Amino acid sequence: MKIFTLFLMLTITTPYLTAQKVDIDNYWVQISCVDFPQNYVPEKDRTFSIDLKGDGNFIGQDKSDQINIFGWSKVDEMATLDVIININGFILGKATSSNKTVETKDKSGKVTARNTYYKVSVTNSGNGNLRIYGPKNEYSNSAKANDSDKKDKKKDKAAVEEASNPFLKNVDTKNVGDELDDMASSKTMAYRYSLDNSYTYETSETNSASLAFREYNANSSNMLNSHENSYRNDYPKWVSAHLNKQYGYKPYKYNVKFKRLDSDKHPEFIMFDNATKALKAIFSKMRYNKSEKEVEEDLAPIINYFEGISSTYTKDDKHEKRLRGAAYYNLARIFQYLDKHDKVIEIGNAIIASEFDEDDGEIFIKESQELKRKLAFHQMKSRHIVPRNAFQEMDEEGEAEAASGK
């Protein structure tokens, strides 16, 4: 009778225990906002001019129009940044032939056949450079400051070695090109980038050197035109990339990790699942050039739900800890992309105090402290800008982060 009673109790309680099991999976959401540039320039001073010169086959107003800095206005004169681009043209490379011999062996390792294959290749090159004149006010953290110190020490050491070299005592080692660069603008040169790039064409491999050259001669002219067109189309993108890395508040699509409940028998499963799916849909509306306030309003019910989970499931049971930890994690991520970093730090401390996945709490605190410093440096309240022209009013999500993002 006792055994039967015990069996009956287990039969009744097992479904309840099973229903409380908590499995948590990662859930990825793409969120678009500003990627900070390296330099800060006051918003009222964010103007730039373009001076594109060089080979007429590669330059023109259409190329200048393709170059933009997010968060800045392009002007014809009195700009804060002078952007000077030299495109010197395209160089046809010299064709070279190469060959390789492939051996065929039998089971004993004896060579039974040798075949030689030939191909012809050529490397054509575009040549140019970018010079940026204007303010240089870089954000720095401890790691970057250390790197800068190392570079300065290397420069100082090189200067000392040059000064002590008796063979250079009466020699002017300043590059003539640098002097010409300095004359191009009344401002100090902040950055200089090479716009050189190489494009290679290879024939297919054949068993005849003459056939390889015949293929090369038939296609080399078309390939040169193709390489020139590629360079013509590519260099404005490279210029924009360099400019935006240093000064632009460009859009960037972050791949952000949230947590989902993967236990469909848990009483919270439906609501938790709906909440994670909804936050993905809502965050998909976020843009670098729109205020985060609309998204914040739409997220309010989801925030309330996750806050309710973290305050309702308070036991030390491992399953409740997992559920509570997932709710904390999602709240921290939501507030992080609403740029409410004091709230993120508060939740990070709560995660640490819960003694469950404390590393997550420490990471949230570290990330938000760094984001607070960057926002303060750039004198911004959030990672969003007010559009300054039609180009910046476009619905742009930006380059996507790799799938293994934070």
Pick the CATH number of 43-99+103-140+178-246 from 3.30.160, 3.40.1800, 3.40.50, 1.20.1530: 3.30.160
Alpha-helical regions (H) of 141-206: 142-163, 176-183
| Cα 46 from Cα 72, distance rounded (Å) | 5
Question: pTM to 2 decimals?
Answer: 0.82
What is the model's pLDDT at position 159? Answer: 61
The whole-number pLDDT of residue 157 equals 66
Residue 238's SS3 state is helix
* CB 134, CB 82: distance < 8 Å: yes
Q: What is the pLDDT of residue 389?
A: 81
Which residues of the chain have a pLDDT value below 50?
Answer: 1-19, 142-143, 145, 175-177, 404-406
Q: Determine the pLDDT at residue 395.
A: 82
Q: What is the DSSP letter of 198?
A: E
Straight-line distance from the first to the last Cα atom of the chain, in angstroms, rounded to the nearest whole number? 57
Ordered by start, the domain boundaries in the chain are 16-36+250-400, 43-99+103-140+178-246
Closest CA to 57 of 107, 34, 91: 91
Helix (H, G, I), strand (E, B) or coil at 118: strand
| Tokens coding 340 | 């409410």
